[in-house]
Amino acid sequence: MLNCTKCNAPLSQNAVNTHSLVACPACSGLLRVDIFPAINRSLPVGRTGATLQVENEAGCFYHPQKKAIVPCADCGRFLCALCDIALYGRRICPLCLEKAKVHRKHKNLENHRTCFDTIALLVATVSMLIYWFTIISAPLAIYLTLRHWTSPSSIIPRSRIRFILAFIVAGAQIVGWILFFTQLAQST
Amino acid sequence: MGKYTLWQGADHLLHIFSRFGFEDYKRFYLSDIQAVIARKTIVGKVHNIILGGLLSIFSLPTLILEGSWFIFCVFMTAMIFGLLLINMYLGPTCQTTLMTAVQTEKLQSLHRLKAAFRIMDGLGLDIQQVQGALTREDLFEIPLRSGGCPTAHGPGPSNASPPKPVKHESGGIHRMLFTLLLVNGVLVSTEFFFCQIILTIFSSAASLCIGILVIIALVRQHDTDLPGPLRMMTWTSLGFVAATFVIGYVAGMVLAFKNPSMAYNQWEIVKSISNLSPWDSHLKLSHNILILGSALFIGLPGLIILQRSEVRAKGPLNSKSTAARQKAISRDPDPG
């Protein structure tokens, strides 16, 4: 249902695909609405799987009462129509899908990543606001840099410049502390 | 607190929310996108108003201050002016929403109308390559609801709330507000010719009433059928009220510091302010110019817009008629 995103009033056919701003008839808010053929497409009805009719027929691993139609491409378990998941041309089971997501076998299944390069740079730079804290954060930043140098970063390809900067900044802080303690020792 | 970015892959859009090194991804496949809607918002205008107010707050003291405070005010004025120019260059703001069969997602990274239009033009071509072009027959396949109002086919978001009712507002409070702004302008303009304590008292009372009325007007105009420009004028009045209160407070403080003997005597402060001519004091001159400006640029246009909206409402194309509500007016994006 196409509604105004402000007042939720339904929009008329005259308001769509105009490539310019059109006023909502209810709230007078200006909108541009682009719709595509998918709007007329109904969602495919999910299959529930046929019940086993004959005893010696293969049953689903997860639903023993349902008829198996296809084996999982990863683990080989028999799957009914309900458990059958099509993923990039392969038919897999829900468990293998979950494993693929956890082990990052398919980039398009990932919905979260920890970018250790950004964390290392933040740890190295933000701690400078309270300078004495850098005595802890500088070694931490260097540890993060070395430990996660080869870990996957953002899903958008990028260089390791953040790691390099974090290393340089944390290194400079450690050198500063070494000089400070050396001078302190010499003065005492 | 984080950053939203939108990327386009070979067959999908990737919406990334990143904060403090953690990223969350949402994918929208081009074959599944049903609609993209960009709605113009007033956020950019509000930013312009706030920056304009800050600009006047920091630029006015440069008329009276000297030394390091003068340099500070000039620096702040230049910085705020730069931000204002950037905001105006980036253009009006918008809220962009992407719709699929199962979700409606706000694309926070597309918050400027120019950028959103550019992206929507490009995206439309890519989606057409995947889904095909939308024909006139496809448009008319969208089933009609009862009441003759067409809606899109498809489940859409199943938890869509009903349309919010729009209240009718007569604009009485707004009329009082704009009239009082004009009256205050007249009172202040007489101070250029002669200074009387009674005028100062009336002007102060008018300013106080304007402050109260603007709050009431803002509350009453929420979710009503008052025209957009009138609402904008009311919000601008709020900015003006804030500016005059700040200037008045600063003037009072300056006077109290210069004359410590009358610091605890409000009546003496009022008398000394009324005896001060705008031609003798930069601060009072700035204050009076601000009030005159508000009368001319807010009070008068506000009353004119209110009058026109009333005339339009009483005319043949009554705003309450459904046919008039369904009339769409096409406009190109105007600068913020």
Q: Residue B336's pLDDT is what?
A: 38
Residue of A nearest to B156 (CA): A1
Domain count, chain B: 2
**What is the token pair recorded at B180?**
């009082």
Minimum-distance CB partner of A113 among B23, B39, B163: B23
Same domain, B106 and B185: no
Question: How many Å from the N-terminal Cα to the C-terminal Cα in chain A?
Answer: 78
As a whole number of angstroms, the distance between CA A84 and CA A188 comes to 75
As a whole number of angstroms, the distance between CA B7 and CA B20 comes to 19
Same domain, B109 and B182: no
Indicate yes or no: CB of B32 within 8 angstroms of CB of A20. Answer: no
Closest to B272 in 3D by CA, of B300, B294, B252, B295: B252
Q: A132 vs chain B: nearest CA distance in angstroms?
A: 22
Same domain, B29 and B112: yes
Beta strands in B277-334 (DSSP E): 330-331
Residue B299 lies in a domain: yes
Per-residue pLDDT, averaged over B217-228, amounts to: 83
B164: chain A residues, CB-CB within 8 Å: 7-8
As a whole number of angstroms, the distance between CA A109 and CA B27 comes to 9
Same domain, B123 and B195: no
Same domain, B174 and B111: no
Strand (E) or helix (H) holding B322: helix B322-325
Same domain, B218 and B266: yes
Minimum-distance CB partner of A20 among B14, B134, B332: B332
Provide the pLDDT confidence category of residue B147 given band limits of 50, 70 and 90. very low
Residue B74 lies in a domain: no
B99: chain A residues, CB-CB within 8 Å: 2
Same domain, B113 and B212: no
Residue B311 lies in a domain: yes
Q: B72 vs chain A: nearest CA distance in angstroms?
A: 24
Q: B312 vs chain A: nearest CA distance in angstroms?
A: 15
Mean pLDDT of chain B: 80
ipTM confidence score: 0.82
Mean pLDDT of chain A: 88
Provide the pLDDT confidence category of residue A104 given band limits of 50, 70 and 90. confident
Same domain, B117 and B256: no
Q: Residue B107's pLDDT is what?
A: 94
Question: How many Å from the N-terminal Cα to the C-terminal Cα in chain B?
Answer: 26
Structural domain harbouring B118: 3-41+97-132
Same domain, B102 and B233: no
Q: Which of A2, A36, A40 has the most B C-beta neighbours within 10 Å, making it the best mutation to test the interface with B?
A: A36
For B150, the 3-state DSSP assignment is strand
Provide the pLDDT confidence category of residue B115 given band limits of 50, 70 and 90. very high
Q: Would the pLDDT of B226 be above 90?
A: no
What single DSSP character describes residue B159?
T
As a whole number of angstroms, the distance between CA B323 and CA B148 comes to 10
Q: Would the pLDDT of B84 be above 90?
A: yes
Same domain, B195 and B310: yes
pLDDT in tens, B261-291: 766 777 777 777 777 777 777 777 877 888 8
Q: What angle do CA A119, A121, A124 make, to 5 degrees?
A: 110
Q: Residue A147's pLDDT is what?
A: 95
Residue B208 lies in a domain: yes
Whole-Å CA distances, A162 to A128, A141, A173: 16, 11, 16
A1: chain B residues, CB-CB within 8 Å: 151-152, 154, 156-157, 160
Residue of B nearest to A162 (CA): B21
0.80 exceeded by pTM: no
Residue B70 lies in a domain: no
Same domain, B111 and B249: no
Same domain, B15 and B108: yes
Provide the pLDDT confidence category of residue B162 given band limits of 50, 70 and 90. low
Q: Would the pLDDT of B154 be above 70?
A: no
Residue B334: Cβ-neighbour burial (10 angstroms; 0-12, 13-18, 19+): exposed
Q: B86 vs chain A: nearest CA distance in angstroms?
A: 23
Residue of A nearest to B134 (CA): A37
